[in-house]
Amino acid sequence: MSTKKIIVLVPVKNEAWILERFLSVCSIFADHIIIADQNSSDGSTTIYQHFPKAIVINNTNKEYNEADRQLLLIQTARERFGLNNILLAIDADEILSANAMQSNDWQLMLKAKPGTILYFEKPTLLKDTSTAIRYLGGGWPLGYVDDGAEHTPTIIHSTRVPTPAYADKLYLNDIKFLHYALVRLDAQASKQRMYSMVENLKSTRGIRRRRRAYNSQNDFSKEGDVHEPSNPQWFKGWEDLGVDMHTINTSDYYWYDYEALRIFNTHGTSRFLFDDIWDFNWEACRLKAIENNYGNTPLFKINRPFLGIGSFIGRQIDLLDYTFVTVKALLKTLRR
């Protein structure tokens, strides 16, 4: 009999909107759920108390840093439970499909040897749970059968698990993690604004690439490779157990917005003049943050600096980027 444990590694900051769903499902298939909570203030910490498999550790970092939290989670799993376990590094808005545990791929995962990277598809639910965006690229490395390999993460958009060159790769096409990120398009826009600001501060992307990646006019109806109705079997088994898989709670503002305010308070607004974050009413958000007593909220009004110049130059940057991408694609075609 296999002695492997399934250990879920999840970073959390204010995920109460979906946390009960996530922990209810994880409690069924995982042996342990290690949560690195980063100063949640929305009731997340109360929800943890209802799930005995949840092991909560504190991520005390005040900044957005995926590398630190990933290393903290992996180190904790190894210290508490040793090696040779299945580490699943998933976010709170990624819910295992209900038919996954009955698949042949689930048995393949359980039998995989240490030093194996596990790849899974993440169908992204669009606007609600009825439509799924599918990706045909083979999936994401969300799991690792742990042999103690070094993990070398990055600050943002980091691969979540070790991926040593010697490792086997196992593509588990019948195991899906349902990604709820785009069921709240306003929250996704909020996240993208914050990401743009973080990448500005960390110098991980230049302005041209930031404006492309975090374009406020992103049309998610063109995302992915295929759009199709969601498979009812992804939800049914969990619904039969009483797990609510469909309710979506939204808000006027999200923690990403308040984090962006904190960044403004520290760095001012001029640094972000050309980031595509100014289609949002930051001043109304600031007043709401003051009303709710959020710390580190700016005392100064927030409006786009140099309004006309900033808008004009931003459009020129987008035009330059479009030209660059178009020419690059044309040259690639001509070389074939």
Burial of 303: CB neighbours in 10 Å, binned 0-12, 13-18, 19+? exposed
Q: Supply the pLDDT for residue 1.
A: 46
Q: Quick one: DSSP state of residue 98?
A: T
Which one, of 15, 62, 17, lies nearest residue 35 by Cα? 15
Q: Supply the pLDDT for residue 19.
A: 98
The CATH code of domain 6-121+139-177 reads: 3.90.550
CA 190 – CA 256 distance, rounded (Å): 6
Which one, of 184, 211, 213, lies nearest residue 316 by Cα? 211
Domain residue spans of the chain: 6-121+139-177, 184-218+252-335
Q: Quick one: DSSP state of residue 311?
A: H
Which three-class secondary structure state does DSSP give residue 156?
Answer: coil
Which one, of 37, 16, 13, 35, lies nearest residue 26 by Cα? 35
Residue with tokens 């799991």: 143
* Torsion from C-alpha of 176, 213, 69, 257, nearest 10 degrees: -110
- Amino acid identity for residue 63 in this structure: E
Q: Supply the pLDDT for residue 2.
A: 61
Q: Supply the pLDDT for residue 34.
A: 98
Other Cβ atoms closer than 10 A to 100: 22
Specify whether the CB–CB gap between 15 and 40 falls below 8 A: yes
Residue with tokens 């976010």: 91
Q: Supply the pLDDT for residue 326.
A: 79
Burial of 166: CB neighbours in 10 Å, binned 0-12, 13-18, 19+? exposed
Which one, of 276, 329, 331, lies nearest residue 304 by Cα? 276
Q: Supply the pLDDT for residue 115.
A: 98
CA 60 – CA 37 distance, rounded (Å): 8
Q: Calculate ∠ Cα 292-293-295, nearest 5°.
A: 130
Q: Supply the pLDDT for residue 313.
A: 77
Which one, of 68, 11, 5, 71, lies nearest residue 35 by Cα? 11
- Residue segments in the chain with a per-residue pLDDT below the cut of 70: 1-2, 307-308
